[in-house]
Structure 1
Amino acid sequence: MSGLSDQINLANEWIHEGFPALRVLKALGVRRSTYYYRESHTPSPKKNTGGRPIPGFSRKKDGKRVLDSSIKIFINRLLDGEDSVYGYRKLTRCLQRKYKLIINKKKVYRLCQEMDILLPQREKKNKHPRRISRNHMVTGPNQLWQLDIKYGYIAGSRRFFFLASAIDVFDRTIVGIYKGTECKTKSITRMLQKALLKRGIPSEELTKLVIRTDNGPQFCSKAFYEFCEAHKDQLIHERIPPKSPNYNAYIESFHSVLERECFQRHEFRTLEQAYKTVDDYIDFYNKRRIHGSLFDRTPKEFLKQFEAGLINHKKPIAV
């Protein structure tokens, strides 16, 4: 086998020097099929995956080359003047404007790193500290609500709408819902305010209501933090860890049921049709749809019988 490989290598040398391939193969006694098969199945050398080599220069807008060493001199000049307060991104803009360089911020960052002039990264301070969700033993209504946002689609106008829902983990009641073409924090806090009044919170119970959400921008905002602070005597806001929707399993489950039993059964042509259909389904869900986890009762029936003391065998829910 090694002899054949040597003959093929020799054939390649002669062919690359300009000799006809058929004459070379005939002279060496190598079949054409064997030669071309070996050539097509020879593994290609590994490519360098380290990226393209650094060119060592940039160009001006007129096409002239400017070496990296000269660009570093330009950067030093900028840092000696009024531009000394800038970071690498704004230095890039200064190089483009003042010296007419075609250069991007990545290269300027690399050059600044080589010059050891990068400023330390500023620490990001969380203005609104996050309360991590923890395990709760839910023994009654208005102890834990889960809140999340879902999208709906309007086929008639090819647009989406937002649906924010809050569910009581104990009795599975959808205590609040918001529908709209945009979903701002103000809309959600208004929905929660109405839900608190409708459910009679604050109540005489000693435990505060816990509202659990994910880390969406509406729930991390200053406005939502201020809403929770204004109602800190009534509720506590906690956020689940990133990439852990199981902490919000009840509202996630409701949204999957809503998708299957409502959204997939209707093709919405207008926003008004979508809103009315969702409202009708929520009314059905709360008042007429039986739940196996509620002993085949509806949320409304279960809550009414629980408050009347007719249900005392439901186990606490560990959430």
Structure 2
Amino acid sequence: MFGPQDGFVYLNCIMDLFSRKIIAWTLADTMEVSTVIETINKANAIRKTDLPLIIHSDRGSQYVSNAWRAATEKMQRSYSHKGYPYDNACIESFHSLIKREWLNRFNIRNQRHAYRLVFEYIEAFYNTIRIHSHCDYMSPDEFEKLYERVSELSAA
């Protein structure tokens, strides 16, 4: 993703396409399977749902491994078409935003500093304050809360 002075770190994210919310993320110094498994486990712990889920990813080796298949066995897996980056446009757009709007402003000193910056952007800005045209110009959190209220009213 970006290179602090002591090496590269990689950001793994899971985005809810309904609200564009980053549900779970991890920062690691490698792109090993264990890192993406940690991210999917975080997402499962946060969302705690039995609803049918579709998980979409590119065709990187981490996402076609046996460990990934085991971690996502209760989900429907979807993969980008080879050589067609538009399938991942939403998450690619997010990665571009975090770099352009936040990370490129800093001289990132180390992995701890990178973690703090990513945390600040995702948890204190992107999910909670930053408006999205897809969400009718609300933040992902506001959009999800509105959906919850509408669902409760229609169930009553």
User: Same fold by TM-score, threshold 0.5 exceeded?
Assistant: yes
Amino-acid identity (%): 31
2:76 counterpart of 1:236 = yes
Unpaired runs of at least 5, structure 2: 152-156
Partner of residue 132, structure 2: 291
The whole-number CA distance in structure 1 between the counterparts of 2:76 and 2:134 is 26
Shift >3 Å, 4+ stretches? none
The whole-number CA distance in structure 2 between the counterparts of 1:165 and 1:262 is 16
Matching residue's letter, 2:33:
T
Please, which of 179, 183, 186 is the counterpart of residue 27 of structure 2?
A: 179
SS in 1 for 2:150: coil
2:3 counterpart of 1:153 = yes
Alignment length (residue pairs): 150
Please, which of 107, 122, 128 is the counterpart of residue 267 of structure 1?
A: 107
Unpaired runs of at least 5, structure 1: 1-150, 311-319
SS in 2 for 1:153: coil
Alignment of 1:100-111 (within 5 A): none
Alpha-carbon displacement from aligned partner over 1:9-52 (angstroms, at most 9, x marks no partner): xxxxxxxxxxxxxxxxxxxxxxxxxxxxxxxxxxxxxxxxxxxx
Deviation at 1:264, TM superposition (A): 1.2
The whole-number CA distance in structure 1 between the counterparts of 2:113 and 2:72 is 33
Partner of residue 55, structure 2: 211
The whole-number CA distance in structure 1 between the counterparts of 2:38 and 2:98 is 22
Give TM-score scaled by structure 2 length: 0.90
Give TM-score scaled by structure 1 length: 0.45
Q: Greater RCO between the two (CA within 8 Å, min separation 6)?
A: 2
Deviation at 1:167, TM superposition (A): 0.7
Deviation at 1:183, TM superposition (A): 2.2
Alignment of 1:52-67 (within 5 A): none
Between structure 1 and structure 2, the one with the greater Rg is 1
The whole-number CA distance in structure 1 between the counterparts of 2:112 and 2:71 is 30
Matching residue's letter, 2:46:
K
Alpha-carbon displacement from aligned partner over 1:158-181 (angstroms, at most 9, x marks no partner): x11111111111101001101011
Alignment of 1:119-134 (within 5 A): none
Partner of residue 154, structure 2: none
Deviation at 1:197, TM superposition (A): 2.1
Matching residue's letter, 2:56:
R
2:38 counterpart of 1:198 = no
SS in 1 for 2:9: strand
